[in-house]
Amino acid sequence: MTHFRISEAAALIGVSDDTVRRWVSDGALDAGADDAGRQTVTGASLARRALELAPAPDATDPVRRSARNRFTGIVTAVQREGLVAQVELQCGPNRVVSLMTAEALDDLAIEVGSRATGIVKATTVIIEAERR
């Protein structure tokens, strides 16, 4: 079974170390200790908690989408060159870059500092994991 130190668990789901410690003390996460005696949480309980915290789809949204991967963040860079534009979003710890037409950039009125959501639909998603 996979275990994470408190700081690793906090970084994975974007909360503070203190929040993870509070969840452990409240029984929301299963805890243990590593070989060095440092407190850890199980990967399975952290995964369950991450799903509990994930926002539910907005049932009042009149638009239904086939894409489920949505990254909401702040626009950190916009580059326009001729007919093409590049927009960079910082979505928590994730950087999302989108290429679009300059016309789409104008229609969306995107500028540095804007709030925006990148919606990703891909036929290929590559997963990396550490070797054990």
Q: Which two tokens stand for residue 34?
A: 């590593």
Q: Give the class (CATH, top level) of 3-53.
A: mainly alpha
CATH topology of domain 69-120: OB fold (Dihydrolipoamide Acetyltransferase, E2P) (2.40.50)
Mean pLDDT lowest among 18-22, 65-69, 112-116: 65-69
Percent of the chain residues topping a pLDDT of 90: 59
Pick from 18-32, 67-81, 88-102 the range whose average pLDDT is largest.
Answer: 18-32
- The whole-number pLDDT of residue 96 equals 92
Which is nearest to 14 in space by CA: 58, 71, 62?
A: 71
Strands 39-42 and 31-33: antiparallel
Inform me whether the pLDDT recorded for 77 exceeds 80: yes
3-state secondary structure of 87: strand
Domain boundaries, the chain: 3-53, 69-120
Q: Is the pLDDT of residue 1 over 80?
A: no
